[in-house]
Amino acid sequence: MLTVRDVRVAYTLGGLELTAVDGVSFDVAAGETFALLGESGCGKSATALAIMRLLPANGRILGGSVCLGEEELLALPECAMRRVRGGRMAMIFQEPSTSLNPVLTIGVQIGEVLAQHGEFPKAEARRRMIELLALVGISDGARRLDEFPYQLSGGMKQRVMIAMALAGTPEVLIADEPTTALDVTVQAQILDLMTKLQAERGMGILLITHDLGVVARMAHRIGVMYAGELVEIAPRREFFEAPAHPYAQALFSALPDAMRRDEELCTIPGQVPGLGEMPPGCRFADRCPHVMPVCREQSPDWRTVENGHVVRCHWQGGSAGEPCGKKGGDNQAAVSGEPILAVSDLKVHFPIRRGILQSTVGHVKAVDGISFELPAGRTLALVGESGCGKTTAGKAILQLLPVTAGSVRLAGTELTSLSPRQLRAQRRLAQMIFQDPFASLNPRLRVSEIVAEGMRALGGKMSTVERQVAVVELLQQVGLDAAGSGRYPHEFSGGQRQRIAIARALAVRPGLIICDEPTSALDVSVQAQILNLLKSLQNDFGVAYLFITHNFGVVEYLAHEVAVMYLGRLVECGSVDDVLRRAKHPYTQALLSAVLVPRLEGQGEVIRLQGEIPSPANPPAGCHFHQRCAQAMPVCRQRYPEVTATESGHTVACHLYA
């Protein structure tokens, strides 16, 4: 259905023409999902944009062929390509929030596609749009058509993007990281939807992702991409049982899970070469553990491993063999004495104001009475769907948001009653690593200034020379070259920027660090580097982490205890083994069932949650989860359940265990 042959793409930067995609070839058959897998910067999205002919102004297709059926797309004039784009071939973009027009309603945006690729009377077009929304699982379509994107959740916006892509009844669907920013439950719904529509329509799907769990769930064949080239193509079973290229093997070795808790994760040294720094020979040679002299001199040819499985590599040693992770030791800090952080009945309610006088008509109960303790040298993972209040809780603990009620004790000191001057003195005991390192680093300051800023503000009396020495030591601790201290944040990769954020947090030697999704936007190889760093810092300095995440692989590897949050409240708490192996609350069970595992076997039946998470401005009466729970009883609709505890300290708020 889709045939791509020897496509080459270049971008013009500073008067130089730099090749981003260099001779990529693959096929997508009807009803087949072909996954392009690789790190950021490998050329996956550039390949998709070239196929759709949506490259930016400085991008150019240097050569090759793209055929949709028998039609050569690269030879079509733009007016003819517009009929193909969105009609016979459609694309789901990576970030729905930036792909949807914020000032146009959902109905107007879907209607544009229908107007371009068919002639529908107004009433017929609206009926067709309601059908499309129902097809992607959005109920009450007539109302949703008149809403704007900001009124929809992330999962619903992604469903709208899929509805727009399906409006032209495409033969080929290109999905660029369609589930990267979604919760595991919404991710499962989106992937099920794509599989169902593919089976009904016989669509070919080109899936672009760096998530091996999504690949295991969706792909029929996989193409591994590195530095603008395909280096391995294989059917799904052959790929997961025996990846042949060292790069693919390294991606598998970098995945965190419970089996690797007592060892360092494998990492890939260095990073993907820039467009102007492509080495001769094999482009992976500088990062490869099996590099040979011929790898630096000659680009490898394709060779067949077995039927349908081909690889570009001089090394023929087979599987990776010995594990590369060194024994790191799981920090088993003694749980005794006063915890470094004690939170009791914490509430954060935001007022809803309306009218000319801005009268308060209600409250958004973002955090509604949570309690937990965190000992020194331990990691508590706070998990749950987006919108449940995890980040708000983290910021409120550090008093970055006003607390409505409750107690927060840091190293024995009550923070909620401190004056601004007193609170400033306590800031050195607790720091925060934010989700987006690029947005949280000042672009006008050099790295040395960013790291030293906390020392000047909270580090006491230090001379300029002492601060400079301390900055160099910190950068070396987080694995950065001190020679880069004079550079700006935009000159670093995503993983390096996150290391800078960690160095800034460590600058005042805190006892507690709140980590808000610090690895969510990183490739698995960079994620492994950050997790290794966090674990080694905990072992060396006894720092405690409140780790906010929805990645359960990271939870299994790093955390000691887990707290599950739903609609502002904790519904289950306990050790990693208790919560992840013996989950009691139906919500926790649903979350764990939806986690995609990066292997062929092991994915059990997914528990489907009905509807969307309710609004914290109007939570349901009784148990907040009863509207989506398959085990709900009459008492669940009447009162919120009490917390029940087992002998091991595993607690759950559910009437099933009362």
Least confident of 13-27, 454-468, 574-588, 620-634: 454-468
Residue 186 belongs to a domain: no
Residue 455 belongs to a domain: yes
Least confident of 8-17, 64-73, 328-337, 539-548: 328-337
List Cβ neighbours of 228 (8 Å cut-off, separation of 6 or more): 19, 20, 21, 22, 24, 42, 43, 46, 278, 283
Say if residue 25's pLDDT is above 70: yes
Which residue has better confidence, 104 or 498?
Answer: 104
Residue at 639: amino acid letter: R
Specify whether the CB–CB gap between 238 and 308 falls below 8 A. yes
Which residue has better confidence, 183 or 233?
Answer: 233
What gap in Å lies between CA 275 and CA 154, rounded to an integer? Answer: 33
Give the number of other CB atoms < 10 A from CB of residue 338. Answer: 11
DSSP track, 77-140: -HHHHHHHBTTTEEEE-S-HHHHS-TTS-HHHHHHHHHHHH----HHHHHHHHHHHHHHTT-S-
Residue 66 belongs to a domain: no
Least confident of 140-154, 317-331, 383-397, 592-606: 317-331
Specify whether the CB–CB gap between 556 and 255 falls below 8 A. no
Dihedral through CA 272, CA 275, CA 281, CA 284, nearest 10? Answer: 10
The crossing angle, in degrees rounded to 10, of helices 122-135 and 154-166 is: 130
What gap in Å lies between CA 265 and CA 253, rounded to an integer? Answer: 7
Which residue has better confidence, 510 or 154?
Answer: 510
Specify whether the CB–CB gap between 445 and 468 falls below 8 A. no
Regarding pTM above 0.75, the answer is: yes
Q: Which helix (H) or strand (E) holds 235?
A: strand 229-235
Which residue has better confidence, 479 or 130?
Answer: 130
Q: Which residues pair with 408 in a beta bridge?
A: 343
Tell me what the mean pLDDT of segment 247-258 comes to: 89
| Residue 319: per-residue pLDDT | 52
Least confident of 82-91, 376-385, 582-591: 82-91
The crossing angle, in degrees rounded to 10, of helices 106-117 and 154-166 is: 20
| Residue 156: per-residue pLDDT | 79
Residue 600 belongs to a domain: yes
Tell me what the mean pLDDT of segment 348-374 comes to: 89
Say if residue 198's pLDDT is above 50: yes
* Mean pLDDT, the chain, whole residue set: 87
Residue 383 belongs to a domain: yes
| Residue 30: per-residue pLDDT | 92
Of the pLDDT bands very low, low, confident and very high (cuts 50, 70, 90), residue 13 is: confident
| Residue 335: per-residue pLDDT | 46
Least confident of 163-177, 427-441, 562-576, 601-615: 601-615
CA–CA distances in Å: residue 553 to residues 211, 320, 526: 12, 22, 15
Least confident of 123-127, 292-296, 344-348: 123-127
Residue with tokens 């559910």: 654
| Residue 336: per-residue pLDDT | 47
Tell me what the mean pLDDT of segment 286-294 comes to: 92
Nearest one of 448, 493, 457 to 475, comparing CA atoms: 448
Least confident of 150-154, 297-301, 395-399, 564-568: 150-154
Say if residue 321's pLDDT is above 70: no
Say if residue 304's pLDDT is above 80: yes
Of the pLDDT bands very low, low, confident and very high (cuts 50, 70, 90), residue 318 is: low
| Residue 182: per-residue pLDDT | 72
Q: Which two tokens stand for residue 368?
A: 């509604």
Nearest one of 280, 277, 305 to 293, comparing CA atoms: 280
Q: In terms of residue numbers, what domain contains 363?
A: 341-657
| Residue 333: per-residue pLDDT | 47
Tell me what the mean pLDDT of segment 228-244 comes to: 94
CATH code, domain carrying 464: 3.40.50.300
DSSP H helices, 136-219, are 141-144, 154-166, 184-201, 212-218
Residue 616 belongs to a domain: yes
Of the pLDDT bands very low, low, confident and very high (cuts 50, 70, 90), residue 413 is: very high
The pLDDT tens digits for 151-175 are 887 677 888 888 888 888 889 999 9
| Residue 36: per-residue pLDDT | 94
DSSP track, 10-35: EEEETTEEEEEEEEEEEEE-TT-EEE
| Residue 87: per-residue pLDDT | 85
What gap in Å lies between CA 213 and CA 430, rounded to an integer? Answer: 34
Of the pLDDT bands very low, low, confident and very high (cuts 50, 70, 90), residue 110 is: very high
Say if residue 280's pLDDT is above 50: yes
Give the number of other CB atoms < 10 A from CB of residue 543. Answer: 23
Say if residue 326's pLDDT is above 70: no
The beta strand positions in 391-511, using DSSP E, are 405-410, 413-414, 430-433
Residue at 358: amino acid letter: Q
Domain total for the chain? 1
Taking the alpha carbons at both ends of the chain, their separation in whole angstroms is 57
Round the CA-based radius of gyration of the chain to a whole number and report it.
26
The pLDDT tens digits for 434-464 are 877 778 899 999 999 999 988 888 766 778 8
Of the pLDDT bands very low, low, confident and very high (cuts 50, 70, 90), residue 609 is: confident
What gap in Å lies between CA 72 and CA 2, rounded to an integer? Answer: 10
What gap in Å lies between CA 161 and CA 178, rounded to an integer? Answer: 10
Q: Which helix (H) or strand (E) holds 448?
A: helix 447-458
Tell me what the mean pLDDT of segment 308-316 comes to: 92
List Cβ neighbours of 470 (8 Å cut-off, separation of 6 or more): 452, 455, 462, 507
Say if residue 600's pLDDT is above 80: no
Residue 583 belongs to a domain: yes
Specify whether the CB–CB gap between 538 and 329 falls below 8 A. no
| Residue 334: per-residue pLDDT | 43
Residue 345 belongs to a domain: yes
Q: Which helix (H) or strand (E) holds 230?
A: strand 229-235
Residue positions counted in the chain = 658
DSSP annotation of 628 reads: G
